[in-house]
Structure formats: structure tokens, C-alpha cells
Structure 1
């Protein structure tokens, strides 16, 4: 049994992790039941993912009361932005109040009230399957509280808690204006979950190290991955010199060194200025757009807004290079964005920017899929963009043809998950 808040028609990479595990687990001998909200208020929708829900699984849909619907009556746009993680630095009183209420009245998050309904609705399943394997996945980390209570009610089940992101060390916690009581509650709940689950699954090495310092429970690293057919066209795409970023760009994910480099290159080379295009596909914060205007890059921007998963993959395949941008902070070293794995499958060169010693650097290095730069490496970043542009002008900005990306196929990762489930029952 997989318990997940995010499920199609929700959009974004967080949905695909357990959608794909649910697809491949039956091939590994498992009967799969997935528990999802019946009437969720998702910030982003991608109805194309509905077609990918496996017909072999059983779905239990449980009603949920979403505080975001009530908040949306005051300001739908502000509520959606908060749900997407887009927090304006110059937020007004209403938005600051909404952030404070989210952080202090709903611990660990606004979906915490779903727990009791889920426990009630899955009781028949547990009666018939008292030795089931139950997997909870967060964020929202309140889903793990379902597993926590379930483990006390039905000790015979094995409970695996899957952390797609860290909990108390996640970067946005500092933006939630947590009071001392709320902060302590987060720490206490995290400790209880980490010490009660039969096994913890993490998506990055940094999170694994963090949890290892907090608990003696077994920890298994299973990254995200890709389930698309890898790009078989190695030759560079036709068209402009397109640098493409796929996904959300938050206010804090605003790489001044990249914008400065691109501005300088457009000034220094009329050829570069004529060929260059910055493509953005996803939810973009106003601060990012304002920065692009400030650096006089707005005329080069092709802002497509949120696109479907299918469209995003097509854009990856056609880009001259793919931008991967992470917030420059200690907390984000552990973040492995879900899109990086489909970036791998696109076989297009990756330009990654993030904090020093970030886990994304290890993946890019191991797969020979691009170059990583920290926020102090503007000169090296600019030089690398020039290098890619020179290849582009020669028609040789080709893709990466090695098979090192195969370890990130969803089917392969599901085999690791199946072995992990077997391990907790030994």
C-alpha cells in the first residue's frame, strides 16, 4: 500500500516518483494499492499524466479538506503561489499572514487533517492484509503521520517512510515564520517518524547522512529517475542557441552570475545576441522576470509558462543546453531535482548551478552529462557557455551517447525498491 498526497492529475516531478513505482512493482511480483485524495486542491495540474496511471493497481480515494480552498476565497493567486513555493520577498500583510498561519497553525503542513480520514477508509484493507507493506511518501510530511499511527494500530505491517525532500532542514522552513512551539513540534514529529518506521527511503546522499545522524533505523537511497525513451538523436538540434530551463524558478533560485554572463555575451558578440534564446517552461516568480528585465535579457526570453510533461520532454530534446539551477544555501545541497533525470534522458548538455558540494554535482560528474558551477564561478561559467556556443556554430554541439544513465531508469530503480521491501521482511 502506497499512501501519497500527490497523484495525477497533479503536475510536477513529485507525482511521477510513485506513479512509476506503482507501474513497475506489479512486474516485480507485488499487488499494489495506492491511497490518494479524492478531491485535492493541487497547485499545478497535468491531466496528461492520468493516462499513465496503471490499470493493474487498486486506487482508494479518500476525501480531504483543503485549507487552501478557504484561503483562496481571500486571494486565489496568492494561495496558488504559496502552494507552488513562490514566496515574494516584498509580500504584503495578507500574504505574510497566510504564510504565518500555514507555518504555525498547520504542523507539519496544511494536509495534516487528512490523516484520520485515511486511517478510517483503509481499515478494511488492513483487516484483510494485516502483513502488508505500507509506504508513505512526503512531502507533505503529514502523510508520514498516517504511517506513524498505523504502525501503532497494526504492528504486523512493515512501514517504509519515503522522503522525497528533507523535513526540518528543508530550505523553505525559514520562510514559514515558524514560532518556537511550531519548530519544536516539527523536530519532535520528525524524530518520532525516523525512529518508528521500519526503514527510511531517501532520494539524495546528503539526506541519508543527515538521517543517519538522527536515527539507527536502516536507510536506503533510491533516487528519482526517468521513464521516457532516451533521446536517440545525438546530433545537435536545429534552430537558435536555446538555453532551456524546465520547471519552477523560485525567487531564491535567481542566479545573478548566469544573467550577468549572458548579458555580457550579448553585448560582446552580435552573433551570440542574434542566435541566443533563453527558454523558460514552468512557473516563474516575478522576481526572476524582474531580474531578466534588469539585465536586459527579457527580449531574449521565450516564457512558455507551465507546460504538460509531454511538452516539457519535447522542449528538452530540442534545447542546445539545459539549465539546472538550485538555491545557494547549505540546506539545498541535498536536493536532487526530479527533472535532472529526464535531463539525463534527453542527452542534451546540462549547465548546473548550485551550492558547493551539492549532490547534483556528483550525479552530473558520474554520468558525464554536463558541467556544474557554484555561485563563485562566474568566469568559468561564462567560458563554458562560450565553449558550447562555439560547438553550436560548428554544428557539433552533440549529445551524450554513454549508457551511464541506465541506472536511473524507473524500471531499474523499482528493482532496488523491491529488494528493499524484501529486506524489511527478512
Structure 2
């Protein structure tokens, strides 16, 4: 039996944190041993996260050694601001709207906590990680951001201990649309850019989740950036492959905020209802209050649309399979072309037609079109949405079976093999 190589993964998001940020490295660590790599994880003991999913703790593989260290971050001082201003911040990204208090807090966040409020974990972590590396014989490290302060830990380790280091960017840094909401000073903007460039220049390998994001980073650094997308865990879907929809229901799973506007779909459904075709739509997850009110006050929509709360990931997998159509909402923001919602890959694994609303260009649209997984519509294409829904309903009621697209390249196991190959090149 060959001795496995070792790698330390430094990540802020780890179970019981929920949401898309945790899934990527939770799954990589699951499959890395199959390709000769033993993963170690370093993560905060007391992180501040908005979504909690304790069921994900069951997905942490036994072969993963997780080491936690306390973190101090200023979020407890602005918790009330965050909760009251969450939707406002989405408005800022999309429409430039914010209260004076929101603007002040965003300005403080962007100009004083560079690159982010998790920066205070850098110095106390250095000694702890050095001991972890030495005691376990580890000389390869992966940092994943955001928060991009994780990359500063990798930078420090590289400079001081000459470890081999991969920097994984799940979102942009200096070109991240969120920075535009912080009203950065000239100095703060330059500081972000300088730190980003230092990370990109120093890391042995740089990887990102989409072609667009990788291209932006490559342009900044003048170097190649690997693309390893997110994906789906085939084992989670195989055990539910027998599940089928009981009726024609369109479902969206995840957050619906001001950045992901489903109103064109609602308009299409309402028009179809008035034309004698009634299709049910279900939102699972947090829906912004403005949209909730609009649905409740509409005599037609309130009978066609159901709102359900956030569900643990294990239950969501079953919901995918029980859906007739899966709705994918993409934002119209600056980073939209490179943003691939994690749920897209799980939608693909569910073998259900996808109705995508958002940018008709970019990585998500390219994937859906390339493999024939569904229909992509822009926000002004209500008639196209209506036609797509009618066709999907006809396909649902048809006795003729349709072939399903090959999506194996997006399986977590195959993606982990790409990561292992990257590690082997170090």
C-alpha cells in the first residue's frame, strides 16, 4: 500500500456552517484519499455564519482530521446592523440604495477591515499552523476564499516556511462586486489590489470555480489559473434515484433576494394561468419580504405559489428529484457571468429540466446550453419563459422517455481527481 501524501486545507466555512461555501471543500476532502492524498482541515472554532446546517456534520469523512482554533471577529458588534441591513446590502449591489447607517457601516467594513473582518485570525493562526505542519509532516497547503484573509495565511506560510501552496478563489477579490458597496477610498482600493496581486504572484498554483473568474485573475496576475468547478456528489443522488415527481411542480431551492429576481417567471406563470394553464411554483429557502408581500397580495399568484423555509441539504436532494422543473435564478450583477450557483450542478444530477432566468451569457448559461439541460431566458423574455414552461409540461405528460445529458464531468469524484492532479504537479 502506497503511503499517502498530506495536504492542509485552510477554510473559514466548515460544518455546521451551511450554504454553498462549505460544500466545495467538504466534498474535496471526502474523495482526496481515493487519489492518494490525506486531507487535514484548519478552520475557526467559533465562526460567524448566517446559515447553519448541522446535518452537514454527518458528511465529514472519518479520514479527515479537523483542527479548530478560536477566532475573534468584529461581527458581534454589527450583528444588529447585518440582520437589519441584509436586504439593504443586496439593494446596494443592484440599485445603489442604502440608508445612511448602512452606508457608514459598509464604509467602515471596506476601509478598515482589509481584506475582510476575519483578518484578525491571521496572526494567532500562524504559530498554530506551523505546529500542525511540523507535527504531521505536511508541506502542502490550500487556502480557499472568500474570506480572502485565508489567502493571507497561505501567503505568510509560504514566505516564512516555503510550503507549497494552492490559492483557491471561489469569488473574485479586487473585482468582487461586493467591494463596490463599501465606498472604498483610493488607498483601500489599492490595498486590496496590492494584497491580491501578492497572493497571485506568490502562490504555486491558483485555481477558481469558473472560466470567467479564472480569466479575470489571469489578467491581473499574468499567469495561468486553473478551473475546477463546483459539482455534485453522485452518492447523494444515487440513493434517491427512484424518486419521481407526483405532479407538475416548478421548484426553486435557495435564497431569493434583490439580486435574484424571479418576477419575470411570476409574470409568465400568471399569464399562463389567465390563458387556462395553471402551473404550481414552490420556493424553498429565504425569500425577501418585498416579494413575499407581492405574492400574498396577488389574487392569482398566492394560489399558485408556495413558500417553504430553509431545509437541510439531505432533504433538499429528495426535493430536487420530486420536482418536475427546477428553477435557477442568476443575478444581473457585475460578477454574474462568472458566478455558477452551486445548485446548478445538483440540478444537473437530479435529471430534471432546468428553467434558468438571468444572464443568457456567461458560465452558467454555457453549461446549460452545451449539454442541453434546459432553457436559459433573459429578464425581458417572458414569452420565452411561457413557451419553455408549456413545452416542459408537455414533456412531463408525454409517455416518450427523453435521454438525459451526460454530466459525469461535474461529479465531485472526477473534480477531485483534477485537484489531486494539480497537487501532484507541485
In the superposition, the TM-score normalised over structure 2's length comes to 0.90
SS across alignment from 2:43? strand
Residues 216-227 of structure 1 aligned to structure 2 (within 5 Å)? 216-227=222-233
Query: Structure 1: which 5+ residue stretches go unaligned?
Result: none
**Alignment correspondent of 1:307:** 311
Q: Shift of residue 201 of structure 1?
A: 0.9
Q: Shift of residue 298 of structure 1?
A: 3.4
Q: Shift of residue 225 of structure 1?
A: 0.8
**Alignment correspondent of 2:47:** 40
Aligned to 1:423, which of 415, 420, 425? 425
Residues 318-350 of structure 1: CA deviation (Å, up to 9, x unaligned): 111111111123421000111111111111110
**Alignment correspondent of 1:160:** 166
Q: For the structure 1 residues 138 and 120, does the alpha-carbon distance in structure 2 shift closer, same or farther, using more than 3 Å as the test?
A: same
Report whether the alignment pairs 1:232 with 2:241.
Answer: yes
SS across alignment from 1:194? helix
**Alignment correspondent of 2:335:** 331
RMSD: 2.4
Report whether the alignment pairs 1:136 with 2:143.
Answer: yes
Query: Structure 2: which 5+ residue stretches go unaligned?
Result: 1-7
Aligned to 2:325, which of 318, 321, 325? 321
- Inter-partner Cα distance in structure 1 for 2:386 and 2:400: 17
SS across alignment from 2:270? helix
Q: For the structure 1 residues 154 and 113, does the alpha-carbon distance in structure 2 shift closer, same or farther, using more than 3 Å as the test?
A: same
SS across alignment from 2:66? strand
**Alignment correspondent of 2:215:** 209
The count of corresponding residues between Structure 1 and Structure 2 is: 412
**Alignment correspondent of 1:286:** 289
1:171/1:332 contact within 8 Å kept: no
Residues 5-44 of structure 1 aligned to structure 2 (within 5 Å)? 5-44=12-51
Q: For the structure 1 residues 399 and 180, does the alpha-carbon distance in structure 2 shift closer, same or farther, using more than 3 Å as the test?
A: farther
- Inter-partner Cα distance in structure 2 for 1:191 and 1:422: 25
**Higher alpha-carbon deviation: 31-40 or 182-191:** 182-191
- Inter-partner Cα distance in structure 2 for 1:399 and 1:140: 42
Q: For the structure 1 residues 201 and 417, does the alpha-carbon distance in structure 2 shift closer, same or farther, using more than 3 Å as the test?
A: same
- Inter-partner Cα distance in structure 1 for 2:246 and 2:267: 26
**Alignment correspondent of 2:361:** 357
Residues 53-92 of structure 1 aligned to structure 2 (within 5 Å)? 53-72=60-79, 74-75=80-81, 77-78=83-84, 81=86, 86=90, 91-92=98-99
1:86/1:285 contact within 8 Å kept: no
Q: For the structure 1 residues 68 and 346, does the alpha-carbon distance in structure 2 shift closer, same or farther, using more than 3 Å as the test?
A: same
Residues 381-420 of structure 1 aligned to structure 2 (within 5 Å)? 381-392=385-396, 394-396=397-399, 401-402=404-405, 404-420=406-422
Q: Shift of residue 408 of structure 1?
A: 1.0
- Inter-partner Cα distance in structure 2 for 1:42 and 1:198: 30
Residues 7-47 of structure 1: CA deviation (Å, up to 9, x unaligned): 00000121011011111112211222100110112110000
- Inter-partner Cα distance in structure 1 for 2:262 and 2:349: 25
2:369/2:375 contact within 8 Å kept: yes
1:320/1:397 contact within 8 Å kept: no
In the superposition, the TM-score normalised over structure 1's length comes to 0.90
SS across alignment from 1:178? coil
Report whether the alignment pairs 1:192 with 2:198.
Answer: yes
1:4/1:138 contact within 8 Å kept: yes
Q: Shift of residue 412 of structure 1?
A: 1.0
SS across alignment from 1:303? strand
SS across alignment from 2:249? strand
**Higher alpha-carbon deviation: 373-382 or 23-32:** 373-382
SS across alignment from 1:68? helix
Q: Shift of residue 87 of structure 1?
A: 5.1
**Alignment correspondent of 2:4:** none
Q: Shift of residue 395 of structure 1?
A: 4.8
SS across alignment from 2:345? helix
Q: Shift of residue 277 of structure 1?
A: 2.0
Residues 87-126 of structure 1: CA deviation (Å, up to 9, x unaligned): 5766444333332222222121121111112212112123
